[in-house]
Structure 1
Amino acid sequence: MSNISVSVDLRACLGPARNQGPRPTCLAFAASDAHAAVRAGWRPLSCEYAFYQAQRRAGRPPNTGALLSAMLEALRKDGQPEENGWPYLAATPANSSWTPPTEVGQLFGRNSMLATHSIDQVIQELDRGRAVIVLMMLSRAFYQRNPQGIIDPPPDEQPEPERRHAVVAVGHGIIDGQRAVLVRNSWGPSWGDAGYGWLTERFLGPRIYAAATLLEDVDVSAHSAAA
């Protein structure tokens, strides 16, 4: 067993890990959970609504992943309701029939800030009590089970640029003398340690390519007609 020394752990701000299933919605889950984590109490927000608005703004169909710039713009200008306002769809919808319900409930908006995509910056934001949306490339180690949820690749394992994924950084610490970032995944509670995993610096350092933090809430009522 590895020795994990925890410095920051924001898991108490979030509810049970959620599962995106086979759809390309990891960024919608990461952004939605990071958004819900900075609100008072844990009430999950609609990933479907956030994904729809991001794809609408970028002109992308529901069977492709979202762009970080479009997702942050959607949170800022369109906001999102609670999960029960538009529950997540298990299967990818047809583009022609994909539209929000007439009434989704109150919309909550949030400003954001792009962060330097480095472990140093992620740790600095976590020390401020802010969860961080992290975009990264994957490799074999991310799929291998570890009872402590530790993802630490062998020295010869390289990032795979075609495998891209978004998670939420919610903590950091030291594992066997190496810095590590605790992330919340969107593959359900059976992945890692109840849906969370420790990414060592050896794994995350060469794989992270974008990051963002969410800031103050904003009134999106003036934009709600666009929904």
Structure 2
Amino acid sequence: MTLGGLLINRRTKRQYRLDGCRRSRKNPLLNLARPFLSLITNSQLPNIIDLRSFLSPIEEQYTAGSCVGNALASILEYFYFYTTGQIKIFSRLFIYYNARMMEDKISQRNATEIDSGADIQYAIISLIEYGCCEEQYWPFYEHFINIQPNYKAYKNGQLYCLNEFSRLSNNINQLRQCLVQGYPFIMAIKIFSSFGSNHHGYISMPKKYEKSSQYRHAIVCVGYIHSKRVFIIRNSHGIDWGDHGYGYLPYEYVTDKILTKDLWAIKSIKNMRIISNEEHIRWNDFSILSKSWSQQDMIDDQSQCDIEYSNDEQEESELTNEHRQYQRCYSQEFERERSASPMQLEENHFIQPSFINHHSTAHIPSQITFMNAPLIGPFPYHSSMFHSTPFFRPF
């Protein structure tokens, strides 16, 4: 296993893989992507959208570079739950391997030989060609990472091929419109040391002395809170990360085209219900961010996290001079900040306002019959993994 970067929390001893989302040498021609058409004007956008209650339990990728597979599998699980009301786990490793295999055919990177991360665009191509099998056909075992799935897995995957998808921009209103219409989307973000801090899921904008990951990490955006100017994101680092596996990413993080790239919305899957043009989601306004933290907690948490790289990895070449302040540097200015008083630190750090817990309920469309079903695959089901969600009703 090749580890290009790990985020290590020295206090909790947790290790988070950071380089699972890579840009290939040759980009595929995704000319099948349809432009995203919004059915809602900016003035009609609600304050809050939260799709968490319609998602499967949070998963843990450990030190595997499978974040792209995790993210796309969770979107398929969202569509399956939206279609049937039942939980079904899809194979992360099936997507992860096939994404690397598609890249091998074009860029000759020999990506399937090592656990080197995957390109989101090649993963989307693999979903068009091979679909994604259920977890029981190709489970998440470490020794399966670099092994091609078997015939039964590919046969089952043909039931769930990708039909339609759209490329998104970094425009906030377009992303909000996408979520309002019921489409979670995948994106690739650069990671900084504060990503591993226990800030109840809130991810702050990087400071100029922070060390960034060399590559990117794939996450799924599943909602937003406009009054707080944050997107709700789903991670794949287990329920102990952030707010029970979810986090809150500032708008400014997403609009920065250096920090955030490759935003894609999955719009329809074979044999799964299509979210029609007349049907999107109406929500009540509830404050749903988790409880606040103290300034000292933020400082203590950041001091416990560090990023470690392997010797043969290099920084992304696309960083511009404008964004080099995000890289960690032991300059005189950084040393002054380290030795600053708490009052001075308060002036230099962003302090998130206090949030309150949410106590909202979800209402499912009446025309669909929902039944409880056992979870397929080796993962236990815990009801506490699901967050209650604001009012849901299609037009």
Q: Which bin holds the TM-score, normalised by the shorter protein?
A: 0.7 to 0.9
Q: Report what 1:170 is aligned to.
A: 222
| Residue in 2 that maps onto 1:7 | 48
Give the match for residue 87 of structure 1.
139
Equivalence for 2:148: 99
Kindly provide the amino acid, as one letter, of the partner of residue 72 in structure 2. Answer: A
Question: 1:150 aligns to what SS in structure 2?
Answer: coil
Q: How does 1:128-207 map to 2 (within 5 A)?
A: 128-147=181-200, 149-153=201-205, 156=208, 160=212, 162-174=214-226, 178-206=228-256, 207=259
Q: Which runs of 5+ in 1 are unaligned?
A: 220-227
Match for 2:130: what amino acid? D
Aligned to 1:117: 170
For 2:178 and 2:209, the matched residues in 1 are separated by: 28
Which segments of 5 or more consecutive residues in structure 2 lack a partner in the other structure?
Answer: 1-45, 105-110, 272-395
2:195 match: secondary structure: helix
Match 2:95 to one of 33, 50, 53: 50
Structure with the higher strand share, 1 or 2: 1
Equivalent residue number for residue 66 of structure 1: 118
Q: Distance in 2 between matches of 1:144 and 1:164?
A: 18
> Given that residues 79 and 269 in structure 2 are in contact (C-alpha distance below 8 angstroms), is that contact kept between their aligned partners in structure 1?
no
Which structure ranks higher in relative contact order (CA pairs < 8 Å, sequence separation ≥ 6)?
A: 1
Is 1:20–1:29's contact at 8 Å kept on the other side of the alignment? yes
The Cα shift of 1:216 comes to 1.6
1:99: Cα distance to partner?
1.9
Tell me the alpha carbon deviations over residues 81-120 of structure 1, each in whole angstroms, 9 at most, x when there is no partner: 1111100123574x4xx12133226221113222113433
Q: Which amino acid aligns with 2:235?
A: N
Quickly say closer, same or farther: Cα 1:6–1:42, change in 2 above 3 A: farther
**RMSD over aligned Cα atoms:** 2.2
Which AA in structure 2 matches 1:160? S
Give the partner amino acid of 1:217. Answer: I
Q: Which residue of the partner structure matches residue 28 of structure 2?
A: none
The equivalent of 1:27 in structure 2 is 68
Partners of 1:34 and 1:190 lie apart in 2 by 21
Which entry has the higher C-alpha Rg, 1 or 2? 2
104-113 vs 180-189, which deviates more?
Answer: 104-113
Shift of 1:10: 0.3
Q: Deviations over 1:46-103 (max 9, x none)?
A: 111111111111112241111111100111110011111100123574x4xx121332
Structure 1 Cα separation of the partners of residues 186 and 215 of structure 2? 17
Shift of 1:218: 3.3
Deviation, 1:198, is: 0.5
Residue type at the aligned position of 1:26 = C
Aligned residues: 209
Distance 1:157 1:185, change over 3 A: farther
Alignment TM-score, normalising by the size of structure 1: 0.83
Matched, 1:76 2:128: yes
**Contact (CA 8 Å) 1:182, 1:198: kept in 2 or not?**
yes
Note closer, same or farther for the CA distance 1:51–1:154 as it changes in structure 2 (3 Å cut): closer
Between the aligned residues of both structures, percent identity stands at 24
Distance in 2 (CA, whole Å) between partners of 1:154 and 1:84 is 39
